[in-house]
Amino acid sequence: MENPQNPSKASSRKQFYFLTLSHTVLDSYATLLSHLQPLLLKKLAISAATRNSLAGNFILIYSIFSSFGQILFGWLSDRVRSVHFLTFGVGLTALGLSFLWVAPSPRVVYLLLTIGGLGIASFHPQATTYAGALATEGRGMGISIFLTGGNVGRALGPLVLMFIPYRYGLEYLVWEMIPGVLVALLVPKVLKFEKSLDLTATPRGRLEEAPRPQEPFWTVARPHLLPLNVLFIIAALRTVTAVGLENFLSIYLADQNYSDQMRSLVIAIFIFAGSMGIMSSGWLITRVNTYLLLLVSLLGSPPLLYASLHTEGPSFLVLLFLGNVVLSSSMTVNIILAQMILRGHENIASSFMMGAAWGVGGVLNKVVGILGDQYGLPIVLDGLVMIPVVLAPLLILLRDQPNLSRPNI
């Protein structure tokens, strides 16, 4: 009989796929805000002149709790290992986001975004590290599959969740919490490994057999502050572009008289492209020079995204898709490099590269909203897609970090 505290390779694979499914479900709710933004603004905005600023406020509140909260939960996860971080993560996210449409005022929206954001923050740091530990395909590919599962949920999940509300009325959105609550209840039933996994990061393959003694965080981090800050800046400002397009493009398309279904489809295509970029990076990371991969991502995505904003029809969708594939193709690199630098503190590394960096990106979209009110969304969107270009020179500061494509680094 299989010991749940010492799972076999087959059991690890099953738990890994359930963990990825949980990520898919959670992130299906996580991006409901971008699909609902134009409708919430129409319902709650006091004036058209401040509409984009209110959208920026929604993104700001959501980002503070969903992203910066990951630092706190990452710190806790390195000290208290429990699958209930995942249980409450999925449950709170489903509840908070499903009730958005019934909010009678912006303040209630802020409260619901806080609840949903805390759920997201609770889930991601420990789940990402578990994914690397459980993956039989190797840590880089495992985290890429896990992140791709989330991005597939972010892209396709809202289309499923919004199908009935779009067709029969947005008041039905509250009932869409049911799948998330059910998955949350299954988490402790399926994920029974608890403290049996060694979560210490190694460059490739499964994790080391013997756990490494944990050194204090600052002892590990202090000699590497420069590369950690560079990785953080790249992750944060890349997120300004991705989150800004995801939310403000939705508003812009509504202004262009796109139907709700078509607007949601465009946003879904954009997010799905991100999942394809992340999945491709799991394969490319061991085959292509790490810094070439980062350089192509930062310099190759802006022309494609800019061109998409100035075309129509199928060309718009194709260029938008390709642009986000390229933009997202280096996301796994940021996470793996940070986890390798901060060995023994992998949850904190994940929370900085995914949580804090995404939080800064989200908070800066408050500025994007203000600029949108002042100069108009078309000009602001053009500026958003050019941000990655200014990040490319920073790569020279990462030259002493390991090239993940080299064996036995």
Closest CA to 55 of 384, 361, 310, 368: 368
Q: 1 pLDDT band (50/70/90 cuts)?
A: very low
Residue 1 lies in a domain: no
Q: Is residue 61 part of a domain?
A: yes
The reply to whether 211 falls in a domain is no
What pTM value is reported for the model?
Answer: 0.81
Closest CA to 218 of 114, 350, 75, 331: 75
In a domain, 4, yes or no: no
Contact 330, 355 (CB under 8 A): no
Q: What would the 3-class secondary structure string for the chain be? A: CCCCCCCCHHHHHHHHHHHHHHHHHHHHHHCHHHHHHHHHHHHHCCCHHHHHHHHHHHHHHHHHHHHHHHHHHHHHHCCCCCCHHHHHHHHHHHHHHHCHHHCCCHHHHHHHHHHHHHHHHHHHHHHHHHHHHHCCCCHHHHHHHHHHHHHHHHHHHHHHHCHHHHHHCHHHHHHHHHHHHHHHHHHHHHCCCHHHCCCCCCCCCCCCCCCCCCCCHHHHHHHHHHHHHHHHHHHHHHHHHHHHHHHHHHHHHHHCCCCHHHHHHHHHHHHHHHHHHHHHHHHHCCCCCHHHHHHHHHHHHHHHHHHHHCCCCHHHHHHHHHHHHHHHCCHHHHHHHHHHHCCCCHHHHHHHHHHHHHHHHHHHHHHHHHHHHHHCHHHHHHHHCCHHHHHHHHHHHHCCCCCCCCCCC
pLDDT band at 222 (very low <50, low <70, confident <90, very high): confident
Cβ neighbors of 362 (< 8 A, separation 6 or more) are 59, 60, 62, 63, 64, 66, 67, 239, 243
Question: For the domain that residue 28 is a member of, what is the CATH number?
Answer: 1.20.1250.20
> Is residue 86 a part of any domain in this protein?
yes
Encoded tokens for 385: 């897609």
- Compare 266 and 148 and report the one with higher pLDDT: 266
Using alpha carbons, select from 187, 73, 183, 191 the residue that is nearest to residue 122.
Answer: 73
* 329-368 pLDDT per residue, tens: 888 888 888 888 887 777 778 777 877 788 888 889 999 9
Q: Picking from 16-30, 145-159, 315-329, which range would have the lowest pLDDT averaged per residue?
A: 145-159
* Domain annotation covers residue 2: no
For 233-258, what is the mean pLDDT?
Answer: 93
pLDDT given at position 82: 80
Domain tally for the chain? Answer: 1
Range of the domain at 71: 10-206+219-398
Most confident of 77-86, 213-222, 308-317, 392-401: 308-317
Within a domain: 292: yes
